[in-house]
Amino acid sequence: MEIIPAIDIIDGSCVRLTGGDYSQKKIYHTDPLEVAKSFEDAGIRRLHLVDLDGAKAGAVKNWKVLENICSQTDLSVDFGGGVKAASDLEKVFAAGADFATIGSLAVKNENEFVSWIEKYGGDKFLLGADVKEEMIAIGGWLESTNIRVLDFIETWTARGITQIFCTDISKDGKLEGPSLELYKMIIARFPTLNFIASGGVSSFQDLADLAAIGCKGAIVGKAIYEGRIDIASLSDFNQQQTR
C-alpha cells in the first residue's frame, strides 16, 4: 500500500477542511511547493493535490501551484478540483499532472467524461468517490446525490477507470480513524481495483489496518499536518509495504 500525502489549496495556501466544510478552514503553510519538497525529501513518490477553490467554483483556479510542484519536484501528482471542461483538463496535463482527479463531472456530465477516457485512456484519471452514508456527494462535498457508491464504481470501472479513491465525508479531517467497513465492502466487490482510501487516518496503526484489508493506497492529510504521523517515517512505511 502506497502512502499518498495530500495538499489542499485555497488562495494558494496549504489548508485542511473538516468534514468538507469551507468555513472550517485551517491554514498550515503558505507555500505548497515547500510542503511538496518536504514530502519528496522524505522519500514520498506521489502527491494528491486538490484545488479547493476550483472545486467550489467549478473551474480550475490553482493550476500555477500544480505547475510549480511538477516542474520543481519529481513527484507523481494527481490533481483535482474544478476539472469540468476539456480546456481545464488540457491545462492540468500540460502543467505536469500524471493523473486528473475527477469527481462531480462523472455524475453531472457522463458523456464528457467518457470522451476524455476514450481520448486519454482510463489510466490517466483518478476517480473520486466521495461518500456520505454510502451515497455519492459532489461539488466539493456540498451537494448530495442518490447514487450508491457501489453502483458508481461499477459504472466507471466498466468504462475503463482503473483507480478510485473513496472519502467518507463524515470522517475527513476529524482524525477519528478511516471507514474500514465501507472500504472492506468496496474491495470485496471490486478485488482487482486500484483502491485508495481517504479520510480519517490519524496514526500508523490506521495505515496498517488499511493495508491489511487490501487498500492499494492511502491518502493522508491532516494527520501529517497535526504531527500525528511523522513525515520522515512515511517512506519507511512505504518500503515495508512493498517488501
Separation between Cα atoms, residue 130 and residue 132, nearest integer Å: 7
Separation between Cα atoms, residue 43 and residue 2, nearest integer Å: 12
What is the predicted pLDDT for the residue at 175?
73
Residue range(s) defining the domain that contains residue 118: 2-242
What is the predicted pLDDT for the residue at 148?
95
Residues with catalytic function: 8, 130
- Which CATH number covers residue 235? 3.20.20.70
Separation between Cα atoms, residue 87 and residue 28, nearest integer Å: 31
Non-local (6+) Cβ contacts of 20 within 8 A are 130, 137, 140, 141, 142, 169, 172, 173
What is the predicted pLDDT for the residue at 22?
76
pLDDT profile of the chain (243 residues), mean per 10: 94 82 84 96 94 89 96 98 94 97 92 97 96 81 82 97 91 77 96 94 94 96 91 75 61
CB 15 within 8 A of CB 21: no
Q: Where are the beta strands (DSSP E) in the chain?
A: 2-10, 13-18, 21-29, 46-51, 76-80, 99-102, 125-132, 135-138, 143-148, 163-168, 194-198, 217-220
Residue 18's beta-bridge partner residues? Answer: 21
Whole-prediction pTM:
0.92
The CB-side HSE value for 174 (13 A sphere, CA atoms) comes to 13
Nearest to 46 by CA among 12, 73, 65: 73
> Measured between alpha carbons, how far is residue 78 from residues 133, 154, 198 in Å?
26, 22, 14
What is the predicted pLDDT for the residue at 10?
94
What is the predicted pLDDT for the residue at 211?
96
Separation between Cα atoms, residue 225 and residue 8, nearest integer Å: 11
CB 156 within 8 A of CB 162: no
- Give CA 105 to chain center in angstroms: 15
Number of domains in the chain: 1
